[in-house]
Amino acid sequence: MKLAMNMLALAVAATAHYTFDRLQVNGEVQGDSWQYVREHTRGYMPTKGQQILEDDFRCQPGGASGANTDVYTVKGGDTVKLLGAFGMTSIEHPGPAQVYMSKAPSNEVKSYDGSGDWFKVREAYVYPCASPETIANHFTRYLSTLCTPVAGNDDILTTAWCTWGQDGIEFVVPSRLPDGEYLTRVEHIPLHGAQGSSTGAEYYYSCAQLKIEGNTGKTWLPTRTAKIPGMIQPGDDGVIYNIWDSSITEYPYAPGSKLIVGGTAWGSKDGNSDGIVKSVAKRAARWVGSAAARARELMDS
């Protein structure tokens, strides 16, 4: 049994590394590689260990400036995906995914280094995987056929994760954000090498430059924010988690900052339908769209 597990570990570790270089909006690819995504110099290699405490953890080495990167205009409710680079068409590492946004000072994202406040607009965990939905506006969950149910430890090593087999990481643009330019960061954290070590988890991420136009009604910047680097520490429980423990059938953590009201959640932490999507939806149904929402968000941040 131990030999079989070691062989599986090697097989998982041997799958291709990746990064993200192209933008897809509402199902249509927009522009070329690195046109709207900041090109970086790390290639497809992961960030690991103490490297996540460096400023390069924002948008990769070489990604501190977006002077040579175009800005794509979106609106609330648009589904945006950052697609895999270097021919990657399928994420095949087990682990959670997040999407963060940070409003550029003076709405000039090309010159923004990402040193301001970041907020989480997307979380992705394990099956059942809800299709992307704006929690602030939609309370019906739809099961995706892209994931298979958790059935013991084997699936938590592979296909239980909602990102497994995907060609990128997607999110829905929140309709409550003020118009302006935003640095947008997608992140996947594979856990196959974690095994309790602060140097084992891998981090794959890229930053796109987006401009939001047309959001109407009451809009505000979220108060549940964090700084990058700093929002994740190398020894956090969620990134040293040992998925090779044969008793593991859930992932009860949420790396980074809290999901904002009006964000989207994909899947649940424990593999059942009463997971994170339902709890966030309930909170949103009660608070979003009112002054109380902002007060509640401030208290929870």
Closest CA to 168 of 122, 199, 228, 136: 122
Helix/strand/coil for 244: coil
Cβ–Cβ < 8 Å for 230, 194: no
Q: What would the 3-class secondary structure string for 145-194 be? A: CCCCCCCCHHHHCCCCECCCCCCEEEEECCCCCCCEEEEEEEEECCCCCC
Closest CA to 251 of 139, 180, 162, 165: 162
Q: Work out the angle at residue 212's Cα, subtended by the Cα atoms of residues 76 and 125, and round it to the nearest 5 degrees.
A: 55
Q: What ranges in the chain are assigned the alpha helix state H?
A: 2-14, 153-156, 276-287, 291-300
Cβ–Cβ < 8 Å for 276, 265: yes
Cβ–Cβ < 8 Å for 133, 172: yes
The CA distance from 170 to 29, in Å, is 13
Cβ–Cβ < 8 Å for 74, 212: yes
Give the pLDDT of residue 130: 55
Pairing state of beta strands 72-74 and 204-212? parallel
DSSP 8-state assignment for residue 5: H
Estimate the crossing angle of helix 291-300 against helix 276-287, to 10 degrees. 130
Tokens representing 191? 């856990």
Tens of each residue's pLDDT in the chain, 301 residues? 344 444 344 334 435 799 999 999 999 999 999 999 999 999 999 999 999 999 999 999 999 999 999 999 999 999 999 999 999 999 999 999 999 999 999 999 999 999 999 999 999 988 877 554 433 332 233 333 334 444 446 688 888 899 999 999 999 999 999 999 999 999 999 999 999 999 999 999 999 999 999 998 889 999 999 999 999 999 999 999 999 988 887 888 999 999 998 898 888 887 764 444 433 444 444 433 444 444 445 444 4
Please report the DSSP string for 95-123 in residue order: --EEEEEEEPGGG-GGG--S-S-BEEEEE
Tokens representing 247? 């008793």
Residues 6+ positions from 114 with CB-CB distance below 8 Å: 58, 59, 64, 102, 183, 185, 207, 228
Phi, psi (degrees; rounded to nearest 5) at 73: -90, 130
Question: What is the identity of the amino acid at 230?
Answer: G
Cβ–Cβ < 8 Å for 260, 101: no
The CA distance from 10 to 87, in Å, is 22
Q: Work out the angle at residue 106's Cα, subtended by the Cα atoms of residues 179 and 61, and round it to the nearest 5 degrees.
A: 100
